[in-house]
Amino acid sequence: MASPLVETAPLILDVGVVLTVAATMGFVARKFGLPAVLGYLLTGLLVSPFTPGFVADKNQLALLADIGVVLLLFEVGIEIDLRRIGKEHRSILWGVPAQVAIGVLIGTPVFLWLDIPILGALLLSLSIAMSSSVVIVNITRSPRRRTDALTEEAMLGWSVVQDVVGVTLAVIILTAFGESDKPLPVAIGGIFGFAALAYIFSRLLPKLMRMIRWEKDLFLIYSVSIGLVLAALGTVAFGIPMALAGFIAGLAINQSQDTDEIRKAILPFRDLFAVLFFVVIGSLIPPDELSNSWPFALLVLTMMIVLKTIPTALLAKLGKLKVRPLQFGVGISQIGEFSFVLGSIAFAENAITVSQYTGVLVAVVLSIVFSTILVRKVGNS
């Protein structure tokens, strides 16, 4: 009988090799003035089953990537101050729904014209309207950033409200046009049910953290585990995507006086596992489909500019946000984790073809790279 350590050795090898390659590729990318995320995406391509050489276990990496995204959005939820955003950036509360509505209402007919079924058309148009909280956090934390504090806060607030609006719309779309057997009121009720659970935790957690705040090891364990437990409960019990559940959980406890300590405890784990999210995206791109997928990828990117970049900049100016409108619009202009999930759902339900799905993945990669680079270039606009 094999030792448990022997049986788990391949997973440990996979993680070790992938993180080493990702760190190296990220370092090389930064030396050329490119975002480290490009190195992570290329790492995914290198260790994917579509390229020769070392092949990592995609399912195991996806699990660790999910942990990273949950911890990332949990930390964002802890840190962000919605009351301050509502006071200083009030127009976000109407600007985001307007921007998402523009994307869905105009994008859906375009995809229907391409003979994509209604479910695929709706999910794709919604995915284009959404940004990447993971990338935006990285943009606002990068040592090479050219954004000011108000622009960074507005970008985070915009992406957070996008997540809330987008998940609500996704629930409605999947309930009405997908294979979900949940009635719409039950699906929407799940969001409010989880919010109530998170609120209860927000009342109990400060008392627990005050009891153990000087026990550094226990404080760390509780900080990480509570975020993961709440996010998983949101998915298992209430049917909410884990990333959004993690954000809501962080938002619920961000009134605790130990908030900053919790956030600092999570940061190293968040950064380590979040790298794997980009590796997983890169590992899903089949090179032999690239020639067929380029036209669709370019269409998606063009629609993103027309339906998100430009409207976001105009809405920011109209709403008198204290930001640089062009830089703000460019910073929001990528499609990321939530869009990736929506595209995967559409592909799983045969609402889009494999070349269209590959085109979405290519658009995710290119939009992340270009938005991360261009947001620095337009810093003085």
Walk me through the domains of the chain, giving residue ranges and CATH numbers: 4-138+153-377 (1.20.1530.20)
- For the chain, give the longest Cα–Cα distance: 68
Share of the chain above pLDDT 70, in %: 83
Q: How far is residue 228's CA from residue 44's CA, in Å, rounded to a whole number?
A: 25
pLDDT tens string 240-285: 777 667 777 777 766 555 666 776 777 776 677 778 778 887 887 8
pLDDT tier, 182 (very low <50, low <70, confident <90, very high otherwise): low
Percent of all residues in the chain with a pLDDT value above 90, rounded to a whole number:
17
Q: Which residues contact 138 (CB under 8 A, 6 or more apart)?
A: 35, 37, 372
Average the pLDDT over each of 12-26, 35-49, 191-205 and give the range with the smallest value: 191-205
Q: For residue 141, what pLDDT band results from cuts at 50, 70 and 90? A: confident
H runs (alpha helix) in 114-215: 118-129, 133-141, 149-177, 184-212
Give the pLDDT confidence score for residue 284 in this predicted structure: 79
Alpha carbons 190 and 188: distance in angstroms, whole number: 5
User: Is 304 in contact with 128 (CB distance < 8 Å)?
Assistant: yes
Place 111 in a pLDDT band, splitting at 50, 70 and 90: very high
* Alpha-carbon gap, residue 351 to 112, rounded angstroms: 11
* Average pLDDT across the chain, whole number: 80
Q: What is the pLDDT of residues 314-353, one digit of tens each?
A: 999 998 888 888 889 998 998 877 787 788 888 888 889 9
pLDDT confidence tier of residue 85, bands split at 50, 70 and 90:
low
